[in-house]
Structure 1
Amino acid sequence: MPLNLFPLQYEVIPDKADHTRNVINLIKEADEIVHGGDPDDEGQLLVDELILFAGYTKTVKRVLISDNTPNAVKKSLANLKDNSDFFGIYQKTYARTAGDLLYGLSMSRAYTIAAQAKGYQGVLSVGRVQTPILGLIVRRWLANQAHTSSFFYTLDGTFTVGGNTFTARLKPSEDLLKDEKGRVIDKAAIDRVGDRCKGQAATVRDCAVKEKQTTPPLPFNLIKLQQHMNKRFGLTAAQTLEITQALREKYKAITYNRPSFPAHISCN
């Protein structure tokens, strides 16, 4: 431990062998290559891996296309970069991929052997992403199982002042019985306060007017959109991705649909 996996060895997936061979043959015939992978980390890695695997040493340019409309594509093609400028992105993504592989295989083996020594007969899968997520789910489930129902009470009133109607909530006084979060747990006491206030005139003791600015929400990135579509329409992440892919490729209605970074608005 850990497993000695370096340098990583690439192997072509059998059902992709013919396609890969054809692409590599075309790469070797080219005097110059334009790298047109998706404008993100994985897009950089995907094409760079194939170029390096083919042993290509001539000029490689990089085009970044996030908008498939003709004018935007022409503008991107007129602004080619040296692919070497993006080598750091390739290295970063390759390192993450290699690290995930090393960590996943080594830790899965270690945990499985340790568990089997205690009588467990299955395989324990460990991963950089999957294990923390599984831990969050398990802790949430355990907290749910250990939860004991408790009740607290609030008192809301509707008031009319100067022709304007608004709702206000009672701020509990010190003599009301409260839980550790300051919430009233004595229903009878709340009911008595409500009965005393019902139909009575209210006095506004203090009033403040403040100007506030609220910025509009940013456009969705893919993750936020998938969350929204699941809550609003019950769509799975895969369904939302499929829809955005069609909107981008078929209808050219949106720009690149797979960014993991926060959405922003470009002035270009």
Structure 2
Amino acid sequence: MRLYLCEKPSQAKDIAAVLGAKRRGDGCWLGTDVTVTWCIGHLLETAPPDAYDARYKRWVLADLPIIPDKWKMTVKPRTASQYKAVKRLLGEASELIIATDADREGEMIARELVEHCRYRGPIRRLWLSALDEASIRKALGALKPGAETFSLYHSALGRSRADWLIGMNMSRLFTLLGRQSGYQGVLPVGRVQTPTLRLVVDRDRSIADFVPVPFWAIDVDLLHNGTTFSAQWRAPADACDDQDRCLNQALAQQAAAAINSAASARVIKLKTERMREVAPLPFDLGTLQEVCSKKLGLGAQETLDIAQALYETYKVITYPRSDCGFL
């Protein structure tokens, strides 16, 4: 039996329809010598510290750092029934087609199940970024060898383990040090969340510490051969700050009076530069969220939800969770 392993139920349903697997089974779609099953995101998660040693249930400074010799995975309780279905099907499969999302996280979702369930049969990869029928048929006709995308699994695995090592160890360290200083709450630390929090705090502090400084600028409308254009007065460097803004009010007022009394202006230097502007790339997710926020007032999650629906339900755009504008 050839088994197709998808990332989401909706994805599995679309692929199963093209393969002719229309009979519903236990956590799968069944066809003639073909079965399509699905995950619900990650069915497995990295085991907590106390899975390696019961003493880690208590947070003690002397136990840090916690670095597993051999990493363990546990089944997520919320999706345990689907895990059982996938494990059973992997045991029955003669060939596995990984059909999860075409990115490193999709690769990891499938490969961690392959490792945990000890599937040792042949593996091929369905590389798919759109769920309309034509795209699915084209991808099915161009299956990749499983080894071709295996390095994506290592990339995602490295990210996952880095998250665990930093989160589990540093959260315990800072929480315990906080308790020594009288703070009784938990101080979570994360590979992504903590640097992001630092950026926000630094920005808030710079806003709070900002001291406004007055500066003076002069804009002049000039007429040349019937065309009006705007020019800006440039003060001497010793009268400006690091952003070329004039801080000397008396000098600016003197320049304004001289300009008002002048009947003409003389061009001292002219620089002409030819610019080449290329067509913009297609939207990546971040840019799409930024534009939708400015033009439509949509939040980042709202934009993602709409894009995901356009991809999964209406089949009118390609896979949206990408930061690459060249796709």
Calculate the TM-score normalised by the size of structure 2: 0.75
Shift of 1:188: 4.1
Q: How does 1:1-268 map to 2 (within 5 A)?
A: 1-173=64-236, 177-198=239-260, 200-260=263-323, 262-265=324-327
Cα shift readout 1:150-197 (whole Å, capped 9, x = no counterpart): 11121111111112221111111357x333443212334323322332
AA partner of residue 134 (structure 2): N
When residues 6 and 239 of structure 1 are mapped into structure 2, their CA distance, relative to the original with a 3 A threshold, is farther
May I ask how many residue pairs the two structures share in their alignment?
263
Q: Are the aligned partners of 2:65 and 2:169 in contact in 1 as well (CA < 8 Å)?
A: yes
Distance 2:244 2:272 in 1: 28
TM-score, normalization: structure 1?
Answer: 0.91
Bigger strand fraction: 2
What is the CA-CA distance between 1:223 and the residue it aligns to?
1.7
Contact in 2 for aligned 1:221/1:263 (Cα 8 Å): yes
SS in 2 for 1:158: strand
Which structure 1 segments of 5+ residues have no match? Answer: none
Name the amino acid aligned to 2:158.
Answer: A
Seen in structure 2, the aligned counterparts of structure 1 residues 179 and 49 have a Cα distance that, compared at 3 Å, is same
Instruction: Supply the AA of the counterpart residue of 2:103.
Output: D
Partner of 1:11, secondary structure, is: strand
Aligned-pair identity in percent equals 32
On the 8 A contact 2:126/2:140 being kept in 1, the answer is yes
The two structures, once aligned, show a CA RMSD in angstroms of 1.9
Q: 1:200 deviation in Å?
A: 2.3
Q: How many angstroms apart in 2 are the aligned matches of 1:10 and 1:207? A: 67
Separation in 1, partners of 2:207, 2:274: 42
**CA–CA distance in structure 2, aligned partners of residues 50 and 252 of structure 1:** 28
Question: Partners in 1 of 2:100 and 2:242 — Cα distance?
Answer: 55
Matched AA of 2:316: A
Structure 2 residues not aligned, in runs of 5+: 1-63
Residue range with higher mean Cα deviation, 108-117 or 184-193: 184-193
Whether the aligned pair in 2 keeps the contact of 1:37 and 1:43 (CA below 8 Å) is yes
Whether the 8 Å contact between 1:62 and 1:80 is mirrored in structure 2 is yes
Give 3-state SS (helix, strand or coil) of 2:222's partner. Answer: strand
Could you say what secondary structure the match of 1:66 adopts? Answer: coil
User: Deviations for 1:185-239, whole angstroms, at most 9, x for unmatched residues?
Assistant: 2334323322332362222344343322112222221122222222333322211
Match of 1:221, as an amino acid? Answer: D
Deviates more, 1:193-202 or 1:40-49: 193-202
